[in-house]
Amino acid sequence: MNRPLTLATLGALLPGAAFAHAFDTGRDAYGLFLEGTGVILATPALLLPLAALGVALALWKSEGMLAAWPALLIGMLAGFALAPLVPPTAALVPLAFGLVIGVLSALFPLERIAPAIPILAGLMGLAVIAAALEGHGFGEIGVLIRAGIFFAANAVVAVVAGAVRWITEHWPGEVTRIGGRIAASWLAAILVLYLAFAMAA
C-alpha cells in the first residue's frame, strides 16, 4: 500500500470532536426524515455499534432479532426521553457497548449468556439514540427527524442480523458461524481504534 493511500485511510478513520448534530429545520417532510436517517447512516460511531449488535443477534439464535427487538425498541424510546440530559461524553457510550458486544460475539457462545442479550440490545438502543440527539432539548428536534433516526437505527440492526442469518441458513455449518465470529472480531477491532481516537480527541 502506498503512503498517500495509507494516510488517506488513517485520516478517514480519525473522528472529529464530538459535537452535537446540527439539524436543518427548513426542509420538507421527506427531507427531514432523510436527515434523521443520515444521522445514523453517516456516523460511524453510531453505525458500527448497531452493526455489531446485528451480528450478535444473528449468532445468538436464528430468531435473535425478533427476540431482542422489544428490548431494543424500549431502549430507543428511553434514549429519546433521556437525550437532553446526557453529557457530551455520551457519544463514547455506543462505541463502548459495541466493543463489548463484538468481543462477546467473537469469543463466547452467546447461548451461555442468553438472558443478557436482550438487555444489551436495550442498552445499545438507549445509548445510540441518546448519543444521536445529545445536546438538543425536547422541543428542538421535530418528530420527522426523530422518526428517521428511529427507523435507520432499527433498519441497520435488522439488515445486518438478516444478512448474517441468511448466510448461516444457506451455508449451514461451523465454518459459517466461525465467519460470523470473525466479522464480529473485525467490528470489535475497528471499534477499539475508533474509541481510542475519540477518547484522544
For the stretch 76-96, pLDDT in tens is 999 998 888 888 888 899 999
Residue 15 lies in a domain: no
C-beta atoms surrounding 47 within 10 Å: 20
- b/e map of 62-100 (b: 16 or more CB within 10 Å)? eebbebbbebbbebbebbbebbbebeeebbbbbbebbbb
Q: Kindly state the percentage of the chain with pLDDT values over 90.
A: 53
Q: Does residue 4 sit within a domain?
A: no
Query: Pick the residue with more confidence: 141 or 106?
Result: 106
pLDDT of residue 147: 93
Q: Which of 44, 63, 54, 23 shows the shortest CA–CA distance to 155? A: 54
**How far apart are the C-alpha atoms of 22 and 104, rounded to whole Å?**
34
Alpha carbons 44 and 51: distance in angstroms, whole number: 10
What is the domain range of residue 83? Answer: 27-200
The domain tally of the chain equals 1
Q: How many CA atoms lie within 13 A of 174 on its CB side?
A: 1
88 contacts 45 by C-beta, under 8 angstroms: no
Sequence letter at residue 109: P
Domain-embedded: residue 9: no
Q: Does any domain span residue 130?
A: yes
**pLDDT of 16:** 42
DSSP state of 108: S
Compare 156 and 111 and report the one with higher pLDDT. 156
Lowest model confidence (mean pLDDT) among 7-16, 53-62, 117-126 = 7-16
Residue 21 lies in a domain: no
Residue 11: inside a domain = no
Phi/psi-derived region of residue 59, left when phi > 0, alpha when psi is between -120 and 50, beta in every other case: alpha
**In this structure, is residue 53 part of a structural domain?**
yes
- pLDDT for 23: 52
Whether 10 is covered by a domain: the verdict is no
In whole angstroms, give the CA distance from residue 150 to residue 21.
15
Torsions phi, psi of 132, nearest 5? -65, -30
Confidence class for position 136, pLDDT limits 50, 70, 90? low
pLDDT digits (tens, 9 = 90+) for 11-29: 444 444 444 455 555 567 8
**pLDDT > 70: what percent of the chain?**
84
Query: In the structure, what pLDDT confidence band is assigned to residue 104 with cuts at 50, 70 and 90?
Result: very high
Q: What DSSP string describes 112-172? A: GGTTHHHHHHHHHHHHHHHHHTTT--TTTS-HHHHHHHHHHHHHHHHHHHHHHHHHHHHS-
Stretch 35-59: mean pLDDT? 93
